[in-house]
Each structure stands twice: as C-alpha cells, then as structure tokens.
Amino acid sequence: MLSPKQVAYWEARLAATATNKDRARALWDLARTLAGDDEARWADLVRMLQAWTQAHTS
C-alpha cells in the first residue's frame, strides 16, 4: 500500500513525536492517507476511533 519512501516518512514522523497529542495527530494523518477516498475505510476508521475513545474514557 505504501512505498518504502512513504513508510520511511511516516516512521520518521512518528519517531519525532514527543507527546501523545503529537502522536495522535501523526497517526490520524497516516490513517487519512491510508483511507484516501474510500468511504468504507473512512467508516472503519471512525468506528475504530469511537471504540478506542469509549474504552479509554470509561
């Protein structure tokens, strides 16, 4: 799905994060990149984020 150059970019971006907030932004951007214009992938992403949020705010 991602080229080796893209993987290197995302690995470097994640490695450069210092806080959970920064990490969350980088991971959200990566998820948007992977989902592209695919509505089913976007729906999966939303469901995953909702489930994670509910699990971590209870």
DSSP state of 40: H
pTM of the model: 0.67
Domain count of the fold of the chain: 1
Q: Tell me which residue of 57, 3, 53, 47 sits closest to 24, measured CA to CA.
A: 53
Section 27-42 average pLDDT: 88
Distance CA 4, CA 21 (A): 26
pLDDT digits (tens, 9 = 90+) for 13-30: 999 999 888 988 888 888
Residue range of the domain that includes 29: 4-57
